[in-house]
């Protein structure tokens, strides 16, 4: 029986109706749609017995005090913003499951021994200002004030958007929490990958959030006439790039939990009858262990240099992004694993290849994550789907984890 899941799904559906686009789900940071979503979720927080507020960055925070008012809190949550043309589970499932679990916990067990906060982070996806984790970085005190000058596609700065939303950009630092404010952070999220489905399991315990390196790569050869330059004399930048892409694939297939993606490529001059003189492409390389990622990157770059030398091409790389891996806390993760086992399921421990708000919150406190199986591993897509039975298991695991942490706290 899906005691939790039916209510959670109904709220997911109601939240998904709040969108900037008819027929598609789009809800970006500091938009009118965010305000409507905050009002709706805030009402659900009050109904559950929490006191909601917006912090200076626009994060929605519902709090219930523990036995010592004003004390540090266990934080649960995820994000309420979406990508464009999104699915309805990525982010909101974590917020609404946390809210359902806290409501049941308060109703059945009474006041918790410590404060609990359910947070709907305002901007995890980075859809509007092309900078991810704005909400959780502000929460963790890790937001660079220079980002206030960033602009969206309409030329509106983050500072202007905050003012329009009713917030003061000069006070965004007030969203920052101190390490002593937070006991720990627990986030439930759809897996966004195929491992749980492949093993036939509804939930898993996350071990780490993968770190990522992104590069912009340029190969320079020599453009020439497609009909008159002999194959043996060519310095074809695109042929070199193709070989470089295959080198990435070969290196990453050789090691578990290492993934490399060339997601963009551009060729110049880009004419059907001209040998490509220049090729530009991207690399996104991720692993749950930084040493392995660094080692793989060194191997890939060495392979690229050999390809470029053999083909007579110039090679230039620019690092455009670097994020360290974020390990989950062993004690909190063990509490999640014990809850999964107590619910009668084998425990699969797995890394997250996608980024999450926990990456930022980890600067403040220990973190843990519960993954819920999603059909086909599909996410950032209207076809994104988690079943009611799997949502139910996820909620029961979270509630059991909360009760275990409370029992451990009072011992």
Of 288, 323, 358, which residue is a domain's last?
323
Residue 227 lies in domain:
211-323
How much is the pLDDT for 1?
Answer: 59
The Cα–Cα gap between 57 and 279 comes to 40
CATH for 30: 3.40.630.10
How much is the pLDDT for 409?
Answer: 79
First to last CA, the chain: 33
Per-position pLDDT tens, the chain of length 411: 578 999 999 999 999 999 999 999 999 999 999 999 999 999 999 999 999 999 999 999 999 999 888 999 999 999 999 999 999 999 999 999 999 999 999 999 999 999 999 999 999 999 999 999 999 999 999 999 999 999 999 999 999 999 999 999 999 999 999 999 999 999 999 999 999 999 999 999 999 999 999 999 999 999 999 999 999 989 999 999 999 999 999 999 999 999 999 999 999 999 999 999 999 999 999 999 999 999 999 999 999 999 999 999 999 999 999 999 999 999 999 999 999 999 999 999 999 999 999 999 999 999 999 999 999 999 999 999 999 999 999 999 999 999 999 998 766
Instruction: Enumerate residues 6+ apart whose C-beta is below 8 A from 1.
Output: none
Question: How many domains are there within the chain?
Answer: 2
Is 0.85 surpassed by the pTM of this model? yes
Other C-beta atoms within 10 Å of 230: how many?
7
The Cα–Cα gap between 13 and 345 comes to 28
Residue 41: CA atoms inside 13 Å, Cβ hemisphere, count?
A: 39
Instruction: Enumerate residues 6+ apart whose C-beta is below 8 A from 99.
Output: 41, 44, 45, 48, 50, 62, 118
- Are residues 131 and 100 located together in one domain of the fold? yes
User: CA 47, 123, 134: angle at the middle one, nearest 5?
Assistant: 125
Sign of dihedral through CA atoms 7, 12, 15, 17?
negative
How much is the pLDDT for 411?
Answer: 61
- Are residues 147 and 157 located together in one domain of the fold? yes
- Are residues 344 and 199 located together in one domain of the fold? yes
Decide: 400 and 343 in contact? Cβ < 8 Å. yes
Compute the 3-state secondary structure of the chain and give helix, strand, coil in percent, each to the nearest 5: 40, 25, 35
Decide: 359 and 324 in contact? Cβ < 8 Å. no
**Nearest by Cα to 371 from 254, 196, 129:** 196
**Nearest by Cα to 142 from 361, 410, 327, 379:** 361
- Are residues 246 and 288 located together in one domain of the fold? yes
How much is the pLDDT for 3?
Answer: 87
- Are residues 378 and 334 located together in one domain of the fold? yes
How much is the pLDDT for 233?
Answer: 85
Decide: 37 and 81 in contact? Cβ < 8 Å. no
- Are residues 106 and 171 located together in one domain of the fold? yes
- Are residues 45 and 117 located together in one domain of the fold? yes
Enumerate helices (H) and strands (E) in the chain, giving the number of each: 11, 16
Of 323, 354, 385, which residue is a domain's last?
323
- Are residues 150 and 217 located together in one domain of the fold? no
CATH for 308: 3.30.70.360
- Are residues 67 and 199 located together in one domain of the fold? yes
How much is the pLDDT for 410?
Answer: 62
Alpha helices by DSSP H, 226-376: 237-253, 290-311, 330-342, 358-361
Kind and range of the H or E element at 275? strand 274-275
Of 278, 297, 323, which residue is a domain's last?
323
- Are residues 340 and 264 located together in one domain of the fold? no
- Are residues 392 and 298 located together in one domain of the fold? no
């Amino acid at each position: 029986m899906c005691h939790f899941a039916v209510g959670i799904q109904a709220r997911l559906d109601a939240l998904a109706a709040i969108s900037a686009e008819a027929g598609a789900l789009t809800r970006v940071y500091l938009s009118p749609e965010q305000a409507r979503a905050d009002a709706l979720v805030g009402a659900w927080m009050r109904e559950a017995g929490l006191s909601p507020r917006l912090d200076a960055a626009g994060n929605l925070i519902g709090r219930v005090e523990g036995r010592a008012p004003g004390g540090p809190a266990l934080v649960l949550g995820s994000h309420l913003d979406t990508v464009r043309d999104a699915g309805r589970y990525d982010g909101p499932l974590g917020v609404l499951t946390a809210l359902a679990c806290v409501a049941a916990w308060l109703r059945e067990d009474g006041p918790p021994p410590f404060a609990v906060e359910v947070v709907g982070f305002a901007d995890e996806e980075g859809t509007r200002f092309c900078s991810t984790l704005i909400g959780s970085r502000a929460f963790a005190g890790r937001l660079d004030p220079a980002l206030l000058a960033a602009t969206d596609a309409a030329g509106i700065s983050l500072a202007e958007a905050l003012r329009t939303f009713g917030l003061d950009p000069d006070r965004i630092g007030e969203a920052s929490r101190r390490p002593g404010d937070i006991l720990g952070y627990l986030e439930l999220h759809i897996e966004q990958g195929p491992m749980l489905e492949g093993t036939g399991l509804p939930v898993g315990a996350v071990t780490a959030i993968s770190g990522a390196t992104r590069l912009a790569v340029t190969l320079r050869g020599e453009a020439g006439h497609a009909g008159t330059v002999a194959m043996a004399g060519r310095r074809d930048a695109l042929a070199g790039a193709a070989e470089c892409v295959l080198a990435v694939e070969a290196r990453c297939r050789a090691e578990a939990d290492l993934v490399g993606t060339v997601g963009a490529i551009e060729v110049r001059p880009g004419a059907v009858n001209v040998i490509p003189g220049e090729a530009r492409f991207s690399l996104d390389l991720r692993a749950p262990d930084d040493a392995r990622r660094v080692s793989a990157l060194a191997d890939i770059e060495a392979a690229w240099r050999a390809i470029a030398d053999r083909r007579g091409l110039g090679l230039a790389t620019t690092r455009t992004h670097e994020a360290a891996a974020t390990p989950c806390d062993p004690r909190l993760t063990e509490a999640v694993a014990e809850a999964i086992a107590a619910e009668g399921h084998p425990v699969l421990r797995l890394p997250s290849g996608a980024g999450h708000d926990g990456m930022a919150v980890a600067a403040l406190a220990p973190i843990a994550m519960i993954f819920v199986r999603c059909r086909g591993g599909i996410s950032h897509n209207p076809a994104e789907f988690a079943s009611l039975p799997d949502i139910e298991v996820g909620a029961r695991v979270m509630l059991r984890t909360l009760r275990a942490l409370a029992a451990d706290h009072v011992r």
